[in-house]
Amino acid sequence: MKTPVRWLEANADAPKGAADLLSAAPSPPPFTDALRYRLAVGVAKTASLPATSAWTSLFAKGAFVAIIGGGSGYLVHALAAKQDAPAPPAPAVAAAPVAVPLVAVPPPVAVEALPALQLPTAPPEAPKLKYDSRLEEAELLEKARALVGSNPSQALRITSDYARQFPKGRLGAEADLIAAQSLLGMGNSAAARSRAQASLKRYPGGLYARQLREIAGQ
């Protein structure tokens, strides 16, 4: 099959003005290391759902320790600096302790006058994930999936619950696959086949089409 000539090429049969517009196309922002890292933080947060991954946990703990450690260090440093500061001129107490004038005693420093220490009171809040109903849908299907091998009839019941709770659910194809697998597990291959065929009609190009086709015997 012959590759078409690109509209930006000189001998292309492009409509008038198309090449100008195509030349003005924006470049996507580069995928820099900083961006990769920033996105990784969000991905790691997602990966910790529903169970906390070791990576995120370590990251959160590390951040907390760093903040508390940094704060404590600052406090210690501030106190040490205060102790090391040149003392006010000492009154001549050694020579004539009795004659110490009251005015020579350093005046007590009011607490309010001390420089405020900007200590963090709590670790910064982790960015909150937006609510996504898919997580709820996925939770339910996760339960069903876990039961396919051990208790397929219960798994099938959960997929029915899913269909009731999420009539317009976005994981419908996944639910169908689990239902078909459950029916196979229950020994009802005819029902599994018809379930898979019905799903393929609803989601012909879905992510699970290949697995559903296998069950449907196509």
Partner 1 sequence: MRGIPDAISSLSESAQDAKRGEDETRLSVTQVHERHGEFVWRTLHRMGVRPPHVEDVYQEVFIVVHRRLRSFSGQCAITTWLYEICFRVAAGYRRKAHFRREELVSDWSELEPSIAGSSSASPERQLVAARQAKQLERILDELPLEYRVVFVMFEIEGMSSEQIAESVGAPLGTVYSRLYRARKRFARALARLGSAQMENKS
- Residue (44 or 191) nearer to partner 1, CB: 44
Pick the piece of the chain touching partner 1 (CB under 8 A) from 2-10, 101-109, 115-123, 187-195.
2-10
Distance, CA of 203 to CA of 206 (rounded, Å): 5
Q: Is 21 in the site for partner 1 (CB under 8 A)?
A: yes
Sign (positive/negative) of CA torsion 10, 12, 18, 22?
A: negative
DSSP symbol at 108: P
- Residue (35 or 65) nearer to partner 1, CB: 35
Pick the piece of the chain touching partner 1 (CB under 8 A) from 4-12, 90-98, 105-113, 148-156.
4-12
Tokens 């990251």, located at residue = 59
Peptide bond into 50 cis (omega under 30): yes
Residue from 176, 181, 138 nearest 160 by CA? 176
Q: Is 202 in the site for partner 1 (CB under 8 A)?
A: no
CA of residue 15 relative to chain centroid, distance: 45
Q: Is 168 in the site for partner 1 (CB under 8 A)?
A: no
Rule CB under 8 A: choose which of 11, 16, 33, 103 binds partner 1. 16
Q: Is 128 in the site for partner 1 (CB under 8 A)?
A: no
The number of CA neighbours under 13 Å toward the Cβ of 167 is 1
Kindly state the smallest distance separating residue 85's Cβ from partner 1, in Å: 48
Q: Is 31 in the site for partner 1 (CB under 8 A)?
A: yes
Rule CB under 8 A: choose which of 147, 169, 174, 195 binds partner 1. 174
DSSP symbol at 96: -
Contacting residues for 29 by C-beta, under 8 A, at least 6 apart: 35
Contacting residues for 20 by C-beta, under 8 A, at least 6 apart: none
Rule CB under 8 A: choose which of 79, 93, 135, 136 binds partner 1. 135
Q: Which residues bind partner 1 (CB under 8 A)?
A: 1, 3-4, 6-8, 15-18, 20-31, 35-36, 38-40, 42-44, 46-47, 49, 53, 55, 129-130, 132, 134-135, 138, 142, 170-171, 174, 177, 207-208, 210-211
